[in-house]
Amino acid sequence: MDIFIQQLINGLTLGAVYAVVALGYTMVYGIIQLINFAHGEVVMVGAMVAYSVIGVLAPAGLPPLAVVLIATGCAIPVCMLIGYAMERAAYRPLRGAPRLAPLITAIGISIILQHVAMMIWSRNPLAFPQIIKVESYSIGGATITSVQIAIIAISILMMAGLAALVYRTKLGTAMRATAHNPQVAGLMGIDANRIIALTFVIGAALAAVAGVMVASYYGIAHYTMGSQLGLKAFCAAVLGGIGNVPGAMLGGVLLGVVEALGAGYIGDLTGNVFGSNYQDVFAFIVLIGVLVLRPSGLLGERVGDRA
Amino acid sequence: MNRIHVLVLAMVLAAASGCSDDKKAAASGKVSVVIGSVAPLTGGIAHLGKDNENGARLAIEEANAAGAKLDGKDVVFDLISFDDQADPKVGTTVAQKLVDTKVAGVVGHLNSGVTIPASAVYNGASPPIPMITGSATNPKVTEQGFKNVFRVVGRDDQQGPAIANYLAATVKPKLAAVIDDATAYGEGLANEVEKTLTAAGVKVLPRERGSDKTTDWKAVLTKVKGSSPDAVFYGGMDATGGPLLRQGRELGLKAIFSFGDGACTDNMKQLAGEASDGLLCSQAGIPPQAASKKFLDAYKKRFNIDPILYSPFTYDATNLLIEAMKKANSADPAKYLPELQKIDHAGATGRIVFDAKGDRSDAEMTIFTMKAGKLLPIAIIKSGKTVAYEDFVAQAKK
């Protein structure tokens, strides 16, 4: 039983990160029906910027918590800037173009970001400094670390904040209006381009925080870390119903738990024919399953006529 | 562009120095025997390459100081040193260059990835030019069926049994978990470890696997923790091993962790943090400090620094070439190669005898432990026997 609880805790932590990253995919898709495949790289850039800032500040003798907060505070605007720049440079000029064109530029941006990161931060895996002491707590035989608690708590806070933004503020209303029908929203005095740019910027800010969380959780940062994470988060967004904000949250958490439990028990269930190295496969099995059985995702209703 | 420029310059310089040595030798009425040294002299591991070259240079200078006669004529040994940039493409180019200069023998290369393609070039020369590497540990180097290829360090596949035997003898685990990264290196090493552990009576859990990019080991480790093993072995590199070790400790896994040489690096301190304390890991060969006192003193005197890593091995490799030439009374590769195959040499790294493949029989393996962020050698394993590191060094000093 304690193993089951432990896998559940592992899965929830992972799922919280997926959920935050999935939000970035789903918000952009909801508003311009574009899958921003460069979103995973924004997560990576967030982690890398924080890595550099911590490297500079850690020896200065500031309290560790302050250093991590400043590092995150530096990563967020950098990622926001990248989010804005890529919308301006790669997606806005293609607003009226066929669907495939912005998808290809998205992949191009992703490759560019990866290689620029490789040139700046080298191709070696970087040890992400864990300057805050990690405490472990015991729950019914399973352990949960302070980092895991922080990740889950911060993710819930960010998701709640985003939900409030989308459903309670004027900006959120404008975003939903643009998503619903950009032309009519424009007639109502909404600057659609500004709203779209803001959506990218908000998604990038969430990605920056996710990058810092994931790097401090595993203690490692690498210029390719964003691509796999991005794909998983994309699966999570589809699982929840792409374009649907609560769906991305649900999809992320579910996917994390499925992965952890799957990797933990696949060996026992198949008599060790399949091992835990199939962990990464679960996300894609889920993706295929959803697309075949329920293309609109768990919470998506309106997606059918859009996809 | 720049790289090519530097390479050409290096070649010209090296060739020029080779020429001037030739003239000098001719002037003194001695026959010149040229031995090539190849290693990366630029790039990230240039310091290791220079160390390799120094080992070869020291051996050659000592041989010249002692004086040598081959076939009735006084000979002088000359070293020409090339930079292979740790790059297989450059490596084969400089190998061809050495073949064209008709060197009598080659000491190198440093990296397995460079040694394997370059060895084919030396083998393709007529007659094939003997080549001894002092640092390439990939089994494939000597598995190509080339009669002219030798190595004086251990192989990766001798490492698995070494670390597993050490684990079985000192940690005495009842139950062990073996994890790998599903690569040729990691899985191969893990298989050897599992085989040896099972033979030693240790129960081994079903194999768990990640990939060479896995950073999330929590699911795997949680499953492993459920069986509470006393020891965990991971076959893989430091980039994945570091997170594995750290996450294992975070989950409260009390087992002794052990890694192969891919994860037996100083990086473990950063990658795993405090969790790296107490890690056991293995490397092929012996640490340079364990080489003979005669070599250590001579090296320090000549170069004003301590040997870094493989120079005792390249020193021995160069001496092997020279000794085989003396035995055959010829520097002709076709004539002295048979002597090299059956050589029995007492070198700086101990006794050297080659097996049929050109591998060193009874090559040593070293077991390290990580203490306060530093890798400390604790034991040397040779022909299945484990010797405490201090005893081994004491013996070498005699």
3-class SS of residue B30: coil
Which pLDDT score is estimated for A158?
95
pTM greater than the 0.90 cutoff:
no
User: What is the 3-state secondary structure of A144-157?
Assistant: EEHHHHHHHHHHHH
pLDDT of residue A148: 93
CB A69 within 8 A of CB A146: no
The answer to whether residues B260 and B282 touch, using CB atoms and an 8 Å cutoff, is: yes
Instruction: Report pLDDT for B397.
Output: 66
**Secondary element (H or E) of residue B259:** strand B256-259
For residue A239, the SS3 value is helix
Cα–Cα distance measured from residue B212 to residue B243, given in angstroms and rounded to the nearest whole number: 12
pLDDT cut 90: percent of chain B above it? 57
Based on the fold, state whether residues B276 and B318 are members of the same structural domain. Answer: no
Q: List CB contacts (< 8 A) between A7 and chain B.
A: 219, 222-223
- For residues B64 and B165, membership in a common domain is answered with no
Q: Residue B238's domain is classified under what CATH number?
A: 3.40.50.2300
C-beta of residue A90 within 8 angstroms of C-beta of residue A102: yes
- Rounded CA gap, B321 and B337, in Å? 9
Task: Give the Cα separation of A217 and B200 in Å (integer).
Answer: 37
> A-B interface: how many C-beta pairs under 8 angstroms?
93
Domain total in chain B: 2
C-alpha B260/C-alpha B159 separation (Å) is 7
Q: Are residues B61 and B105 in the same domain?
A: yes
pLDDT of residue B243: 92
User: Contact at 8 Å (CB) between A245 and A30?
Assistant: yes
Show Cβ contacts of residue B326 under 8 Å, excluding neighbours closer than 6 positions.
Answer: B68, B70
Rounded to an integer, what distance in angstroms lies between the CA atom of residue B264 and that of residue A220? 17
B252/A136 Cβ within 8 A? yes
Q: Which residues of chain B lie closer than 8 angstroms to A130, CB-CB? A: 273
Flag if A267 and B206 touch (Cβ within 8 Å). yes
Residue B358 lies in a domain: no
**Which residue in chain A has the smallest CA separation from B273?**
A130
Residue with tokens 């209006």: A177
Of all residues in chain B, the one with the smallest CA distance to A259 is B219
Per-residue pLDDT, B5: 56
Residues B135 and B13 in one domain: yes
pLDDT in the model for residue B309: 85
The span from the first CA to the last CA of chain B, in angstroms, equals 52
Contact between B77 and B68 (Cβ < 8 Å):
yes
Please check whether residues B234 and B177 belong to one and the same domain: yes
Whether B114 is in a domain gets the answer: yes
B213:A145 CB<8 A: no
Which ipTM value was assigned to this complex?
Answer: 0.84
**Cα–Cα distance measured from residue B246 to residue A145, given in angstroms and rounded to the nearest whole number:** 12
Q: Are residues B177 and B270 in the same domain?
A: yes
Between CA A221 and CA A196 the distance in angstroms is: 30
Helix (H, G, I), strand (E, B) or coil at B378: strand
Separation between Cα atoms, residue B144 and residue B20, nearest integer Å = 37
Q: Do A14 and B213 touch (CB under 8 A)?
A: no
User: Does B34 share its domain with B132?
Assistant: yes
Same domain, yes or no, for B173 and B271?
yes
Nearest CA in chain A to B271: A127
Q: Amino acid letter at A53? A: V
- List chain B residues with CB under 8 Å of A124: 239
SS3 B257: strand
Tell me whether residues B208 and A264 touch, CB distance under 8 A: no
Domain boundaries in chain A?
Answer: 10-132+141-305
What φ, ψ does residue B378 adopt, rounded to 5°?
-120, -25
Do B14 and B82 touch, CB atoms closer than 8 A? yes
Of A240, A288, A223, A232, the C-alpha closest to A260 is: A232
Average pLDDT over residues B163-183: 92
Tell me which residues of chain B have a C-beta less than 8 Å from any C-beta of chain A: 182, 206-211, 213-216, 218-220, 222-223, 225-226, 238-239, 242-243, 246-247, 250-252, 267, 270-273
B100 and B20 in a common domain: yes
Nearest residue to A148 via CA among A70, A205, A214: A214
Dist. CA B179–CA A267, nearest whole Å: 13
At B272-288, the pLDDT tens digits run 888 889 999 998 888 88
**Structural domain boundaries, residue B79:** 2-153+288-353
B16: in domain? yes
| Closest-CA residue to B392 (of B364, B369, B368, B371) | B364
Q: Which of A145, A219, A264 sits opposite B223 (nearest CB)?
A: A264
Cα dihedral angle (B142, B147, B149, B151), rounded to 10 degrees? 60
Strand partners, B252: none
Residues B122 and B26 in one domain: yes
- Give the pLDDT score at B391: 85
Please say if the pLDDT value at position B372 is more than 90. no
CB-count exposure of residue B66 (10 Å: 0-12, 13-18, 19+): exposed
Q: Do A125 and B211 touch (CB under 8 A)?
A: no
In a domain, B359, yes or no: no
Point out the residues of chain A with pLDDT beneath 70.
Answer: 1, 301-307
Best of B224, B246, B250 to substitute, by most chain A Cβ atoms within 10 angstroms, is B250
B294 and B244 co-located in one domain: no
Which among A10, A14, A219 is the nearest to B273, CB-wise? A219
